[in-house]
Each structure stands twice: as structure tokens, then as C-alpha cells.
Amino acid sequence: MSRLYSSRKRILVTGGAGFLGSHLCDRLIADGHDVLCADNFFTGDKSNIEHLVGEPRFELLRHDITFPLFVEVDEIYNLACPASPIHYQHDPVQTTKTSVHGSINMLGLAKRLKAKILQASTSEVYGDPAVHPQTEGYWGHVNPIGPRSCYDEGKRCAETLFFDYHRQHGLEIKVARIFNTYGPRMHPADGRVVSNFIVQALKGESITLYGDGQQSRSFCYVDDLIDGLVRLMDSAAEVTGPINLGNPREFTMAELAAQVIAATGSKSELTHAPLPEDDPRQRQPDIGKARQWLGWEPRVPLADGLERTIAYFRGLAVA
């Protein structure tokens, strides 16, 4: 799809070489925009965006958002932040800095440019939720001093900063609370459940279920999620969020394991390991606001999304 020159925007995507960021860059380039991808390559990889290098409307910048950035853009998608526990717990101080200092730097840039800015927040702001499914009005149940806090509290503080810049400086903000998303370009070793199960199944290794495997999650395919982010950015100024983006269809970990085994044709068996600390039992978005404000809901069924993701991991030759 190409755009008229007048509607072509210059868009900064922080974390653009990561899983979600690279799909967002693809979408924005396909929509006819100029994209500046800024990434420090902590968890992102050049292979995720190498097909865009050479495209005249795409620029790549190695940059750590905990340091100020001076560029000229019309919109900012702030996705930079390691998203999986293995990665965000590797250097927890840097994780908090990325959410807090990084947000301050990006909000400062948006303020100077009068640019619209979107924050990739997370369902982790709800912690181990006492309310199910989670609506945006729920304030969460988060441990402030545990091993996940660098991520959860960092993201909560980032939301606070976004809303204070909005109230205090009139900035046009958008806050998306993203629930578990999966798809091609997930890091094969990031310990997230979908990639874990697929890699274990393709290798014929036993599939590890934490606890009794009855904890549930909802899984959103990456194309659906990216469509939600773009709709949110394009929504009316009064739509600030926070807004849940995810797939409300719930699966237990045991059900997911069974689907992955069936789709890969694997002979893997199931093993059990203790539940990690602060691991939520249930996680399911209420997407009523996304439906109402953005006309958005996920469309890709788990079976189709798994098929595309499995094909990607087969291509990486992880087996």
C-alpha cells in the first residue's frame, strides 16, 4: 500500500530491531512512511531488519535510549526494552533505566518536536492479578522488590511519566498495554513459553511445564498486535489509553504444549518444573476498550499463528 507524499510521516521506532519493533518497521514502511529504527542491539538483531537495509525510506541507528537523542520525526513508537525475564533480569538496573530514563529521553524529544508518542507498556503492570480478566481500570498487584520488579515497576513508572507529560505539557500520548505476543523473529532462547515449546518440540526434547501446567495465558499473533499499535497511534487525540492489546482467548500451558506437539509432529514428552517466583496464575486481557475505540480485535487463530511461527523456527534450523 503506498501513501500520498502529504500523508508520509517520519517515524522513530525505538527497539526497532527487536521482535515486535522489526514487524512494526515492516508495517510502517509498507504504509509508505519514513522509518528511523533506533536500537542498542541488546536483545534485537540486525537479521530482523536486514531486508529493510537499502530501502531508501528506512534508516538504522545504533543508539541506547538511556541517552538523549536529537532527531526530527513526527511520531515516536517507544518499544525499546528487553521483554523476556531472562533478558530483563540479566542487568536489572539497565532494564529500569531503559524504561525510566529512556522514557524521559523520548518524552523530552516528543515535547521538543510536538510529536505524538506511543509507549509499549505491558500486561505485567497488573502483576499477579487479583481481578480476571484484567481491565485497564485495575491498578494491579505488583511486588515492588522482586526479581521481576525491574521490568514491572519500570513499565509502571514509564506510564506515570507518559501521563504526567500529557497533563503537564499537553503532549499527545498513547499507552498500549501489550499482552503475550508471539510470531516469527521471537528470540529462540528468550525463555518465553511459545518459543520455548516450539524449540523443544522441534529438537524432540521434553517440553517443560512449570507447576501443574494449569496456569493460563492468552497469545496474540504479532500481525494482529502491530495492527493494534498502528490503530492506536492513528486514533483521535483524546484516546490516550492505557489500552489493552492482546488476545482474550485463554489457553492453559498444558493445552499450548499439546497444540505445539501436534503442529510440529514432535515425539516430545512433558516434564514438570517448579513455578518461577511471582509467576502469575492467569493473564487475560479485557479488550472492550480496544474494540470500542480502535475497532480492533485479534483475527489470527492460534493454530494459524503457531504454523507460521513454527515455519520460522524450522528456517532457523533450531532442530
Ligand X SMILES: NC(=O)c1ccc[n+]([C@@H]2O[C@H](COP(=O)([O-])OP(=O)(O)OC[C@H]3O[C@@H](n4cnc5c(N)ncnc54)[C@H](O)[C@@H]3O)[C@@H](O)[C@H]2O)c1
Stretch that binds ligand X, among 27-35, 81-89, 163-171, 276-284 (CB under 6 A): 81-89
**Which residue in 3, 163, 187 sits closest to 88, CA to CA?**
187
Distance in Å, CB of 243 to ligand X, minimum: 13
DSSP state letter for 274: P
Angstrom distance (rounded) from CA 150 to CA 145: 8
Nearer to ligand X (CB atom), residue 29 or residue 178: 178
| Residue 79 is a binding residue for ligand X (CB under 6 A) | yes
Angstrom distance (rounded) from CA 142 to CA 28: 34
3-state helix, strand, coil in the chain (%, to 5): 40, 20, 40
The enclosing H or E element of 272 equals: strand 270-273
Angstrom distance (rounded) from CA 47 to CA 51: 8
Stretch that binds ligand X, among 38-46, 141-149, 210-218, 306-314 (CB under 6 A): 38-46
Of 88, 126, 151, 165, the active-site residue reads 151
Nearer to ligand X (CB atom), residue 40 or residue 266: 40
Residue-by-residue DSSP string for 179-220: --EE-TT--TTS--HHHHHHHHHHHTPPEEEETTS--EEE-E
Q: Cell 487475560 maps to which residue?
A: 284
Nearer to ligand X (CB atom), residue 18 or residue 228: 18
Nearer to ligand X (CB atom), residue 126 or residue 165: 126
Nearer to ligand X (CB atom), residue 42 or residue 313: 42
Q: Which one of residues 21, 184, 241, 298 is an interface residue with ligand X (CB under 6 A)?
A: 21
Stretch that binds ligand X, among 58-66, 162-170, 231-239, 304-312 (CB under 6 A): 58-66
Q: How many residues bind ligand X (CB under 6 A)?
A: 28
Read off the C-alpha cell for 244. Answer: 489493552
Angstrom distance (rounded) from CA 163 to CA 159: 6
Is residue 58 a contact partner of residue 25, using CB atoms and an 8 Å limit? yes
Let me know if 151 is a catalytic residue.
Answer: yes
Distance in Å, CB of 297 to ligand X, minimum: 17
Residues constituting the chain? 319
Beta bridge partners of 270: 207
Distance in Å, CB of 209 to ligand X, minimum: 19
Residues 164-203 that bind ligand X (CB under 6 A): 178, 180-181
Nearer to ligand X (CB atom), residue 175 or residue 268: 175
Phi, then psi, of 318 in degrees rounded to 5:
-75, -20
Please report how the helices 193-203 and 253-264 are oriented relative to each other, as an axis angle in degrees rounded to 10.
40
| Residue 268 is a binding residue for ligand X (CB under 6 A) | no
| Residue 81 is a binding residue for ligand X (CB under 6 A) | yes
**Which residue in 135, 121, 115 sits closest to 11, CA to CA?**
115
Q: Which one of residues 13, 15, 200, 266 is an interface residue with ligand X (CB under 6 A)?
A: 15
What would the x/- binding string for ligand X be over residues 98 to 137, using CB under 6 A? x---x-----------------x-x---------------
Q: Which one of residues 12, 36, 82, 294 is an interface residue with ligand X (CB under 6 A)?
A: 82
Which spans of this chain sit near ligand X (rule: CB under 6 A)?
14-15, 17-21, 39-44, 64-66, 79-83, 98, 102, 120, 122, 178, 180-181
| Residues belonging to the active site | 151
